[in-house]
Structure 1
Amino acid sequence: MKSVEVVAAAIVKDDHILIAKRGSGEFEGLWEFPGGKIEMGESQEIALKREIDEELNLMISDLNYIDTTFYDYPSFSLVMHLYSCTADTENIIKHVHSELLWIHYQQLDSVEWVPADIGLLKSVVDYLSKD
């Protein structure tokens, strides 16, 4: 089975995380941590900065690794690395998502998630609770 490796961001502001609703495709209408595929030769951190700039017009910093999840979809296996980070700018522009939401990290389970992202929710809560 084909394997796809991606990075995702838990963009933190106060006790809230920026999450994004898929605007099209198989999981349209479900929430996810923004991010995307790692391109050949990119580090996880460089890929994440590029993806967040492309998807949200945001520059991010203070990247801290949280966790990695593995999820088997019918046609491919996904490996997703999640990082916490902060936004260096506030001029968010949605390029691929239908909606964005700042949600308190203790309420992450109150929305419907893309299947692979569900495996990271507890890790985000645990990571942010330790501060």
Structure 2
Amino acid sequence: MKEGQRKIIDVTCALIIDDQNRVFAAQRSSTMGLPLKWELPGGKIESGETAEACLVREIHEELNIEIEIVTGLNANVHDYPSITIKLIPFICKHLKGEILLKEHADFKWLTKKELLDLDWAAADVPILHNYLNYLNAI
């Protein structure tokens, strides 16, 4: 890594789709970075872990549910003031379990028309646009 270059942290996120084709959105708690911003849930990939395994683990840890990954979307590299992340999104189905928020303040299920109405974390916005473009292409 060159001097002055920031390390990029690989982070997964889930577009969890319910049986009404709504997308799950989670609101970050007031004690998390980017407090009260909305995000697609997920987390950092650990050493030796695949993106897919990370996402299944993180969703279980954060939301107490099991998911099935349907497909991936294009990743987005985003520079926050103190960190650079590569956000790796996957479209997922909720398989089983009741949602139990362990880290987040709130959650919502959003239709595609409502998707861009929330105050999203900046890195998630291009992912949402990619998802909407994906829906229009299928």
The TM-score bracket by the shorter chain reads over 0.9
Does the 8 A contact of 1:17 with 1:104 survive in 2? yes
Aligned to 2:3: none
Aligned to 1:18: 24
4+ runs deviating over 4 angstroms: none
What's the Cα RMSD here? Answer: 1.2
Aligned to 1:9: 14
> Bigger CA drift: 52-61 or 71-80?
71-80
> Bigger CA drift: 19-28 or 3-12?
19-28
Q: Which amino acid aligns with 1:36?
A: G
1:24-60 deviation line (CA, Å, top 9, x unaligned):
2231111000000000111111000000000000100
Choose between structure 1 and 2: higher strand proportion: 1
Does the 8 A contact of 2:62 with 2:101 survive in 1? yes
Secondary structure of 1:85 counterpart: strand
Q: Percent identity?
A: 31
Aligned to 2:43: 36
Aligned to 1:46: 53
Q: Which amino acid aligns with 1:4?
A: I
Distance in 2 between residues matched to 1:103 and 1:42, nearest whole Å: 30
Q: Which amino acid aligns with 1:21?
A: Q
TM-score (norm 2): 0.89
> Bigger CA drift: 120-129 or 110-119?
120-129
1:76-124 deviation line (CA, Å, top 9, x unaligned):
2110100001011141100000001000022211010011111211111
Unaligned runs of 5+ in 1: none
Larger Rg: 2
Distance in 2 between residues matched to 1:117 and 1:74, nearest whole Å: 16
Aligned to 1:85: 92
1:112 equivalent to 2:106? Answer: no
1:66 equivalent to 2:73? Answer: yes
> Bigger CA drift: 44-53 or 102-111?
102-111
Distance in 2 between residues matched to 1:64 and 1:73, nearest whole Å: 27
Distance in 1 between residues matched to 2:122 and 2:69, nearest whole Å: 27
Aligned to 1:95: 102
Deviation at 1:128, TM superposition (A): 2.5
